[in-house]
Amino acid sequence: MSGSTLGTLFCVTNFGESHGPAIGCVIDGCPPGMALTEADIQHDLDRRRPGTSRFVTQRNEPDAVEILSGVFEGRTTGTPIALLIRNQDQRSKDYGEIARQFRPGHADYAYWHKYGLRDPRGGGRSSARLTAPTVAAGAVAKKWLKEKYGTQLRACMTQLGKLPIVFESWEHVQHNPFFAPVADVQRFEDYMDQLRKTHDSCGARIRVQASGVPVGLGEPLYDKLDADIAKVMMGLNAVKGVEIGAGFASVAQRGSTHGDALSPQGFASNHAGGVLGGISSGQDIEVSIAIKPTSSILTPRPSIDIDGQPVEVVTKGRHDPCVGIRAAPIAEALLALVLMDHALRQRAQCGDVRQLPGSIPASFSA
């Protein structure tokens, strides 16, 4: 398969460019009979939408989604669900100079050399705007997972630039523009205001969690659940690192500490992050991702142009000073897409496996 389709059975094909007429996706393989309306999808799109606070890009896109197919009388038919989002607030004139220059740290250089040409308007295909169709598809997966298994997806910010964030409660996440799990976000606002003044950008760290995941998802040897999770997360714009469970901290752990003890009441800890041998264990899936600082900044940077000549690049246009701020709903969507795909794969091969003793009720999991 070419690179714009995700999934083996629940397949999402993404299309569009930042400043083209439209973006969207086709979801193929959705189980039939599920109630679905545009409103079910719009909710997550609105969480990801630009222009909702002064800390993100000021591009004003309603991101209104239209269902073009696959739903009849309010229910999925099992045929492809095409979702369309018209672009409305392009300002392509901002990109005149960028069309001939390569921003340090940006996809410009690589797209130019791979394809021999590129759509430079707003980053074209490499823009984070293309995460919107992913979020839309993820909303469909989330709905099915919730109705079928009670699966719940959540994400929050755990570090903003140099500021670590100590988790307080999931309740706070929806009440601040940073998706931070803390009550007081004043210091983040100050940090971002300061950053903007320096014409610079910063990174972020995001935690994603899925609870209520059935045991048994993941296809060893190569399509392990954590492998596919790592793929989609690293494939998200600007991500440079992915951890499952204890992640890099596990290097310094002893086996007697890392291995989560079991009892008839459940697991005593979750260093595994919900995945054992590449297969879900029924515990919460715990993922952490590192997002690099935005490469489109007003600070002048040394670079070259398409003729190989040295230039100094200053990126105008409207950009997120920290793309991690809007990443939480995207990361949830990506995790949902992986879980959905593997849920279908699991019942394809193992649909006859009977309920076994030795199972730990998910509700008892640590």
Radius of gyration of the chain (CA): 21
Give me the count of residues in the chain. 366
Q: How far apart are CA 271 and CA 70, in angstroms?
A: 40
183, 353, 363, 364: which one contacts a second copy (CB under 8 A)? 353
Write out the DSSP string of 81-115: EEEEEE-----GGGGTTGGGB--TTSTHHHHHHHH
Q: Which is closer to a second copy, CB of 155 or CB of 272?
A: 272
Please list, in sequence order, all residues whose beta carbon lies within 8 angstroms of the beta carbon of residue 201, skipping any fewer than 6 positions away: 195, 293, 294, 295, 296, 297, 319, 320, 321, 322
Q: How far apart are CA 49 and CA 37, in angstroms?
A: 19
248 binds a second copy (CB under 8 A): yes
Q: Which is closer to a second copy, CB of 155 or CB of 175?
A: 155
Q: Which is closer to a second copy, CB of 183 or CB of 261?
A: 261
Q: Which is closer to a second copy, CB of 118 or CB of 154?
A: 118
Residues 2-21 within binding reach of a second copy (CB under 8 A): 2-6, 8-11, 13-17, 20-21
Residues 25-64 within binding reach of a second copy (CB under 8 A): 26, 28-33
39, 93, 117, 197: which one contacts a second copy (CB under 8 A)? 117
363 binds a second copy (CB under 8 A): no
Range 270-304 burial, b when 16+ CB lie within 10 A, else e: bbbbbbbebbbbbbbbbbbbbbbbbbbbeeebebe
Q: Which is closer to a second copy, CB of 266 or CB of 329?
A: 266
293, 317, 331, 332: which one contacts a second copy (CB under 8 A)? 293
Q: Quote the least distance from Cβ 47 to a second copy, whole Å.
A: 20
Q: Quote the least distance from Cβ 313 to a second copy, whole Å.
A: 9
SS3 76: strand
41, 182, 185, 244: which one contacts a second copy (CB under 8 A)? 244
Q: Which is closer to a second copy, CB of 30 or CB of 185?
A: 30
Residues 313-352 within binding reach of a second copy (CB under 8 A): 324, 344-352
58, 91, 194, 220: which one contacts a second copy (CB under 8 A)? 220
45, 232, 333, 340: which one contacts a second copy (CB under 8 A)? 232
Residues 122-181 within binding reach of a second copy (CB under 8 A): 124-126, 130, 148, 159, 161-162
294 binds a second copy (CB under 8 A): yes
Q: How far apart are CA 338 and CA 226, in angstroms?
A: 9
DSSP letter (8 states) at residue 295: S
Q: Quote the least distance from Cβ 240 to a second copy, whole Å.
A: 5
207 binds a second copy (CB under 8 A): no
**Where do we find the tokens 């210091």?**
187
272 binds a second copy (CB under 8 A): yes
Beta partners for residue 205, in sequence order: 159, 290
Please list, in sequence order, all residues whose beta carbon lies within 8 angstroms of the beta carbon of residue 175, skipping any fewer than 6 positions away: none
276 binds a second copy (CB under 8 A): yes
Please list, in sequence order, all residues whose beta carbon lies within 8 angstroms of the beta carbon of residue 229, skipping any fewer than 6 positions away: 242, 244, 275, 285, 287, 335, 338
Q: Quote the least distance from Cβ 312 to a second copy, whole Å.
A: 10
